[in-house]
Chains A and B, each alone.
Chain A
Amino acid sequence: MKIVNVTHGSFYALGAYAAASITGALLARGMPPSLSYAVLLGSALLVSVIVAPLIERGILRFMYAKDEVVILLITYALFLILEDVIKMIWGVNPYFIAEPYGLLGSFDVLDLTYPYYNLILVGVAIACGAGLAWMLGSTRTGKLLVAVIHDTEVSRAMGINVDRMYLYTFTFGSLLAAIGGAFTAPTVSVVPALGVEVIVLSFAVVVIGGLGSLPGAALGAVMVGLVRSAAIHYLPQAELFVIYLVMAMVLAFRPRGLFSIAEARKI
């Protein structure tokens, strides 16, 4: 859609809040903890299916004609509003659902202990990535989507329902953000301003990988994670800005990111 979407941060936070409050409430009513993983997923689905279409149909669809930067600012304005909406719904007190995190126990690698939940996170991430790749490459909707993103006007002329595609894309993208938030929720305390840090970090990841490239985003995320851990172990002073340093370096040598998609210049 060529939208740099700041509300992604809000969906991350919404996902985390929904997951924490719904799972917490169900656990308190005696739900077996083993079901909580499904509830995490379900809550992410719930918020994104309700809120994303509301935003897309209610506001964003009137704005697509505007400049990319203006759209970015619109999503920023929505992000600010959603921050306060979240505060109104859930208050400022933190939510916790640590059960899914501790439930599975932990395992030792060499001298260090890791919880199995970290493996679940890795699994969810791989599943989402693979699912997305399959959807874009092998389903009708996915292929239509790629066509719409590549050239909206031609797609419309070919009879594709572009509005519906936009709605699907936005909702699906938001769902992924909400899943990210929901599955992070058990490891953190869910507090206001949760989405702020994530959004800049994910921009960095996407830019390192190359905008609009799925393998790029995956590689970017792995790179960011590795570089950050390396910095923490060997050069803690640099941890604050090392990601931005990597981003600047990558852009200096590959101006459009690692997996950039060639773009025709219009004369």
Chain B
Amino acid sequence: MSRDRTPRTLALILLALLVSGQFLPQWTLFLVTVALAKGLVVLGLMILLRCGLVSFGQALYYCIGAYAAGMLGRLFGASDVFTLMLAGMAAAGLVGFVLGFLLARYRSIFFGLLSLAVSMILYGLLVKTEALGSTDGFHVLPSTLFGLRPADAWVRYTVLAVALLVAFIAALLVHRYLGTPLGRLASAIKDNEIRVEYMGASARHAIHVKYVIAAALAGLGGALAATTVGHIDPEMAYWTTSGEFIFITILAGTGNVIAPFLGALVFGVIQTVAFGISPNTWQMVLGGSLLVVIVFLPNGLWSLFRGRKAA
């Protein structure tokens, strides 16, 4: 492989979106911001998928991140967008660290279903907690940037800019991490764990680390989603939410750290288009497009760009 072009591409996209964002209609800003939030979660899933692990319960951390951010605002009146995101990330990372001791022992379908079980327990608890609005959830206060609240017309753009910046940093760090020896262990673990152990590396340790990273990213995404959407509810922890994240992961492919964000954006567009043109059969459109991607682009949307680069 020639020079690593990913950081440059990332910076280019960041710049392009920061500039064009000022001229885009408001609704696209929101669409892109939500896609970035989901992209962060998917970025974490991608790390796990690289070593062959699929978490059917990533919504757990997405929800923890969102509720951490929401409760910080509700209980302490914190509204700084970076504080909220850090809180979401820290809360999810911490839970991920603790649960990781258990989950890092599991593989294949058992890993997936155990993580699903944990997220459903959180869902059950939240539904029962009337102080947090039960299934209706609660409203998240509008966030501020360094104590300032941007003018109405610029709120969406500011949130988008913050999201872009955060996603950029996260993608860059993950890209770096995937290049380290620990990061490169992923595909080895996927292929044959016993050989990894014979080489003297600890697969369980490596998976634990990846699990915590994925949890923290999901928490970050959840907090971002909470501040963007302005409302959180227990459905964020429900298994259908996890399913959506896996959907995007497969749609995107695991080729590059840009893929998750691209996948999330494409998913958002497909969904909203399907909602618009066929409100009665959008599930069919969604399922159909997933099938098409799996059949014709087995490595996800990302293979489109890789293929072109090689040509």
Nearest neighbor of A239 in chain B, beta-carbon distance: B124
Given contacts A237-B128, A241-B125, contact A73 B247 (CB under 8 A): yes
Q: Is A38 an interface residue (CB 8 A)?
A: no
Nearest neighbor of B53 in chain A, beta-carbon distance: A69
Contact A200 B291 (CB under 8 A): no
Contact B194 A245 (CB under 8 A): no
Contact A73 B250 (CB under 8 A): yes
**Considering the complex, which residues of chain B in the window 108-132 have a beta carbon less than 8 Å from any beta carbon of chain A?**
108-110, 112-114, 116-118, 120-121, 123-125, 127-128
Contact B291 A77 (CB under 8 A): yes
Q: What's the nearest-Cβ distance from chain B to residue A63, in Å? A: 8
Contact A255 B110 (CB under 8 A): yes
Chain A hits for B49, CB < 8 A: 69
**Considering the complex, which residues of chain A in the window 215-267 have a beta carbon less than 8 Å from any beta carbon of chain B?**
237-238, 240-241, 244-245, 247-248, 251-252, 255-257, 265-267
Q: Is A37 an interface residue (CB 8 A)?
A: no
Chain A hits for B286, CB < 8 A: 77, 80
Chain A interfacial residues counted at CB < 8 A: 42
Contact B291 A251 (CB under 8 A): no
- Produce 1/0 per residue, B87-119, CB < 8 A to A: 000000000000000100110111011101110
Q: Is B181 an interface residue (CB 8 A)?
A: no
Q: Is B230 an interface residue (CB 8 A)?
A: no
Chain A hits for B281, CB < 8 A: 84, 87-88
Q: Is A74 an interface residue (CB 8 A)?
A: yes
Which of A63, A69, A77, A248 gathers most chain B CB within 10 Å? A77
Nearest neighbor of A85 in chain B, beta-carbon distance: B284
Given contacts A69-B54, A200-B239, contact A84 B109 (CB under 8 A): no
Q: Is A76 an interface residue (CB 8 A)?
A: yes
- Produce 1/0 per residue, B214-258, CB < 8 A to A: 000000000000000000000000010001001100100000000
Given contacts A241-B125, A251-B106, contact A265 B283 (CB under 8 A): no
Contact B128 A70 (CB under 8 A): no
Complexed CA–CA distance, A46 and B213 (Å) = 49
If over half of B's interface residues share one DSSP class (helix, strand or loop), that class is named, otherwise mixed; here it is: helix
Contact B117 A204 (CB under 8 A): yes
Q: Is A182 an interface residue (CB 8 A)?
A: no
Interface residue from A66, A84, A244, A257 paired with B298 (Cβ < 8 Å): A66
Chain B hits for A68, CB < 8 A: 108-109
Q: What's the nearest-Cβ distance from chain A to residue B128, in Å? A: 6
**Considering the complex, which residues of chain B in the window 248-284 have a beta carbon less than 8 Å from any beta carbon of chain A?**
250, 280-281, 283-284
Contact A251 B110 (CB under 8 A): yes
Q: Is A207 an interface residue (CB 8 A)?
A: yes
Contact A241 B124 (CB under 8 A): yes
Q: Is B294 an interface residue (CB 8 A)?
A: yes
Contact A80 B284 (CB under 8 A): yes
Which A residues fall within an 8 A CB radius of B? 4, 59, 62-63, 66, 68-70, 73-74, 76-81, 83-85, 87-88, 200, 203-204, 207, 211, 237-238, 240-241, 244-245, 247-248, 251-252, 255-257, 265-267
Which B residues fall within an 8 A CB radius of A? 49, 54, 102, 105-106, 108-110, 112-114, 116-118, 120-121, 123-125, 127-128, 192, 194-195, 239, 243, 246-247, 250, 280-281, 283-284, 286-288, 290-291, 294-295, 298
